[in-house]
Amino acid sequence: MKLLRYGPAGQEKPGVLDAQGRVRDLSGVLTDIAGHALLPESIARLQALDLEELPLVPGVPQADLRLGPCVGQIGKFICIGLNYSDHAAETGMAVPPEPVVFNKWTSAIVGPDDDVEIPRGSQKTDWEVELGVVIGRGGRYISEADAMSHVAGYCVVNDVSEREYQIERSGTWDKGKGCDTFGPTGPWLVTADEVADPQNLRLWLKVDGKTFQDGTTATMVYGVPFLVHYLSQFMSLQPGDVISTGTPPGVGMGQKPPVYLRPGQVMELGIEGLGQQRQRTKAA
């Protein structure tokens, strides 16, 4: 099942993609794709619906029908750094002995095709296609063996990053990761039952038609079950939290010489089975 949120920014309604690629309205069933609506029993109720009986929403998704972030009211947007060994190598950093954890502020979250703003004064804004993991059943001290039962589904995330702010400005990575519009999420949340193996998905990203990233989640250092387990040792995971799991090689910082985003460019990115995003960059 592909759950989504559609409509103007800040006024999104819950929806679902039907077998013909059309959006069906879920407003009569739930208020939002958020929180308790992502619990296993809630997902099971949605999967029991006859989608053909739900109201059809006019428009083509991601064409003349805007899609918002696929999860609403996100409480925590947790990110993992250097989680692909080949990406760590291109940045000149060592593979970490434990996952590198940082945050995106929730004000960074935008829809999959919304504009991405280059911060004022930025010279090193970069791209990162990533697998997003959405928590369904919350918990603390989750065992690795039980971790997948806490996953509601998966989505595409563009972990947009300002490298100067992240690396050169002292302190934590967060200041270069959480700028407004730096968290395009969606187009939809694909429920876990439709993803046979989250460690066997192709990820790709293009800038102005040129492919920069083309990798696979098979090369993750720390896989999805371990990350859910690991993070739950330090915080309670709650329904609707999003974990962005790291990026394969091909980021701008890793090019020789480095290549960074400018206003007026177009990023296109996607993950096998999870959909695609398209963002235009503009000056903040």
d(CA 136, CA 242): 10
> Hey, which residues does 67 pair with through a beta bridge?
6
**Are the C-beta atoms of residues 211 and 228 closer than 8 Å to each other?**
no
Q: 96 — alpha (psi -120 to 50), left (phi > 0) or beta?
A: beta
What string of pLDDT tens digits covers the 284 residues of the chain?
A: 999 999 999 999 999 999 999 999 999 999 999 999 999 999 999 999 999 999 999 999 999 999 999 999 999 999 999 999 878 778 777 888 999 999 999 999 999 999 999 999 999 999 999 999 999 999 999 999 999 999 999 999 999 999 999 999 988 899 999 999 999 999 999 999 999 999 999 999 999 999 999 999 999 999 999 999 999 999 999 999 999 999 999 999 999 999 999 999 999 999 999 999 999 999 99
Which is nearest to 260 in space by CA: 132, 171, 165?
A: 165
d(CA 166, CA 168): 6
**Are the C-beta atoms of residues 4 and 187 closer than 8 Å to each other?**
yes
Q: In the prediction, which pLDDT does 216 show?
A: 96
Q: What is the pTM of this model?
A: 0.97
Full set of structural domains in the chain with CATH: 69-283 (3.90.850.10)
Sheet holding 77-81, edge to edge: 23-25, 13-17, 2-6, 189-191, 151-158, 129-135, 242-244, 77-81, 100-103
